[in-house]
Structure formats: structure tokens, C-alpha cells
Amino acid sequence: MIGEIRFFNDGTQSLAGISQFWGGMYQFLWLIGEAVFHLLPVGIVWSITKKMGTTQILGIVLGLTLVSPQLLNGFSVASTKAADIPFWDFGFAHVRMIGYQGQVIAAMMAGFVLVYLERLFRRICPEVISMIVVPFCSLLLAVLISHTIVGPIGWRLGDGIAHIVYSGLTSPYRLFFAAIFGLLYAPLVMTGLHHMTNAIDSQLIAATGSTILWPMIALSNIAQGSSVVAMSVLQKRNKRAQQVNVPAFISCYLGVTEPALFGVNLKYVFPLVCGMLGSSCAAMISVGFGAEALSIGVGGIPGILSIRPRFFLVFLVAMLVAMIVPFLLTLIVGKAKLTTSERGLVSAEVEGADVADSAARGAGDDGDAVSAVSAGAAEPVDDGKATAIVDGKVIPLDQVPDEVFSKKVVGDGFECLAGLGDRVRRGDPLIRFDAGKIRKAGHPCTTMLIVTSEGDATGIAMHTGIDAKAGSTPVITWNNQS
């Protein structure tokens, strides 16, 4: 906005062009943007080691070797003659000294090479020398493999994917491509696969200076939020639903869709579909008129700040479509599908969804483990307590190592043994999962205990910091109202 949008002197100058202060501020703020893209591999490799539970400082060092000043800057490779590219001479082989600034896939591949090398050496190396051998061997081989094998492969793979996406978005079939992407982006978010689009966006920006993909992502966020706004109108008398609806559509409009998707739209399904249809329509407008973003990261309504100025009007029209179409569709369908109790027009026995601020850290044996939790039963026995669902240490929700739960965004998981609307009693199996397989994959076996409604209960207490036994240790208690 400071340096690119020409508000002044009949549209010929930007704020930076008419003010020395704002000109300096514009250059100063680019320090952050350039740091992100030039040092992106450092953050990527670090985040992979953090997520996979290996040594994070090794990830940082590996990332730094991908952007070292000794290397030819990755952004300069395309404009440098092949004969002028520096290389390491090993006598029998030459390895080009190329940096990976702005490269996402190459950095991801390098990160996973480091993770699996460290795990290998920790497994085979005697404990007495592991402190020296494991980091040295893991890092040395990871750097060598990154610059000789996975780096060049990742570079070509990233460029190839970006080229395919860019070609699809600029081809005669771009409207069809946009319609499909706009329709399916929200389900991608629910699976976590949407993170791959950040890599494609980054690759497109590095290769072309802008991205056509990111505007569609921002529009999808707006569309899902608009479905929740319609649900908020339909459920304006349902106080419990409004406690979820209002913060969900606000966060959605600001670019964070998970609360809206998991808390509202997926619960009722039809708002999700209506949002997908609205997103598809908006995406076709955006791509049809060639809207481009100069950066990524700002989603929802603020996403317009990342749009190239000459496409502001186009994006505004697409935003209106993303707001109006899902809202009207959800409103029409919701009036027919929602029950009077769901709309808050009559009292309901059970409504809303509250996540209990408690989790049990599973510590069962390897193999299949069955987890069970009491819920609203046909003939409930209200003894004022909910017992543990697995053996282990009970911890507060904010200590769970998975941000999907620690930030109170609940998604799908495991094999379900009970369906929506089933009535179950304490001890009935609800889900089954292979705890041993989870541990061997390097993931924590923290298990969430979720309360779907507190009903009329008062004095609810979450008991953490205790060792629990499945089916017998109370982890949540309340005043008995029966």
C-alpha cells in the first residue's frame, strides 16, 4: 500500500513517491519480506525437525547451508550463464554451488533427509558416543545429499509444479481449473493438505513475481465465513450455537478457517457445501480476470492487501460473490434442514459443543487400543463424574503437543466405532487406533477427552496432573443434577 498503490497526482505516484519518510519506511519494511523469502529454507527445515521430534538446531544449520553467502543466490541462477556458476571440484565430480533461496520443496526434502538420518544414527549408534557421532554424521550426510541429490531434484520438481499450476491458471481451461480449486480448497484444509499450496504459491512468486493461486485461497476463507454468518442468522436464538458461530466467522474472515469448518460447517454439512459453491464462483471471477497477489500469508478479507493494485476492483467483485452466494444458499437450505431446536426456537435436550480443557496422555500397550468415553445416553446415569478413557497422565489441553487440539480446533481421526446420533453409555467403544504404530512413527499418543455438552451441570472441574486408569479414574467432575 505504501509503495505500490498510486493514490496521488492523478494516479502516477504512491505514498512512498511523494514522502521521504514513507519512502524510507517502504524500503525498511521490505527487510522483513526479503528475509522471509531469502531465508525461507531455514524456517522450513527447522519446522520439520521440530514437528518430527529431532534436533532443531541441526535443522537450522542445514537450512543455513542452503542459503549460505558462499553459494550463488538462488534468485540469480536464471540470469547467470552456466559457465559462470561456481562449483565444488572433487576431482572426479563437480557440484554446483547454488543456493536455494525461495525454494520450498527442495528445503522440505532436505529437512526429511536430515530427520531420517538422525533417527537412523540414534538407533545404531552406542549411547556413549552418540552425542558426537549422531549430529556430526547426520548433518554432514544431510548437507552432502541436499546439495547433490535432493536439492537439484526438489528445485526441478518445484519449478515443474509451479509451471503446471501457472499453465493451468493461464490456459483456455483456466475457468474450469479455478472452479475445481475453489470447490475443493476447503476440504483440503480439513485434511491438512492445503499446506502444499503455500509451497506452490512461494514457487510461483519466486518464478513470476506474483501468484494467481493465493487470491482463490483468500476467497475460499471468505466463502466459508459467509456460510457461518448465515448460520448465525438462522441460529440467532440459539445462544450456545452463537458462542461458536460468532468467533468462527470472525476468524474465518481474518483468514483462519478451521474453527468455522470444524465447529460449524462440517457439523451440519450443508453450510460447508454452500461455502464451497460460493468459493468456486468467486475463484472463476478471480482467475477469469487474472487477479494476482504479490505475496501470501494474508487470508480472508485482509487478503486484498496482497493483491496487485490494478486487480483491486476485480478482487472486490469476487469477494462480494464469495460473501453473497454462500450466505444466500446457506440461508435457504438452512431454513429447510435445521430443526427448531437447532435454530433455538425451542429448548433442546442437548445442543452446542464445548471442548473439555482436559486430555489424557495415553500410555497403553502396543497394538490396537480401544478408547471409550461417556456421552448423552438414552437413560443417563449422572453420578457427577467422567472417568479416564485411557491409562496415563492427565494434562491440560494447552500442553498437548498438537496445535490442532492445543488451540482447540478439533478435526477428524482414527477409526470410528460410533456414528453421528448414536446413543452410547460409559464403557462403550467409540474409536479404535493403533497406539504402537503411532509411537513407532514418532508421534505422541496424547488422547483428547471431549465433552459434547455440559447440559445442566454446574461446578464442572477438570482434574489434571494425575495418573489415570481407563474406566475408573475420574478426570472430570460436576455437581449431580439428577
Full pLDDT tens readout for the chain, 482 residues: 788 777 788 778 888 889 999 999 998 988 887 777 778 899 889 999 998 889 999 999 999 999 999 999 887 887 788 889 999 998 998 999 999 887 778 899 999 999 999 999 999 998 888 889 999 999 999 999 999 999 999 888 877 777 777 788 788 888 998 999 899 888 888 765 676 677 777 777 777 788 888 999 999 999 999 999 999 999 988 888 888 899 989 988 988 888 888 889 988 999 999 999 999 999 999 999 989 988 876 678 888 888 888 899 999 999 999 999 999 999 999 999 888 878 887 654 433 333 334 343 333 444 344 433 333 333 445 566 767 766 777 777 666 665 555 554 444 447 677 777 777 777 777 777 777 777 776 677 777 777 766 777 777 888 888 888 877 788 888 876 54
Q: Pick from 266, 223, 431: which is nearest to 353 by CA?
A: 266
Distances (CA, A) of 274 to 9, 332, 341, 411, 448: 44, 10, 22, 20, 30
Helix (H) or strand (E) holding 467, with range, is strand 467-468
Residue for cell digits 497422565? 393
Helix (H) or strand (E) holding 460, with range, is strand 458-462
Q: Please give the grid coordinates belonging to residue 234.
A: 438462522
CATH 2.70.70 fits 359-479, yes or no: yes
- CA geometry: angle 145, 155, 150, nearest 5 deg: 20
Please report, for the chain, the start and end positions of each structural domain, with discontinuous segments joined by +.
Answer: 40-167, 171-337, 359-479
pTM, two decimals, is 0.53
- CA geometry: angle 8, 287, 160, nearest 5 deg: 110
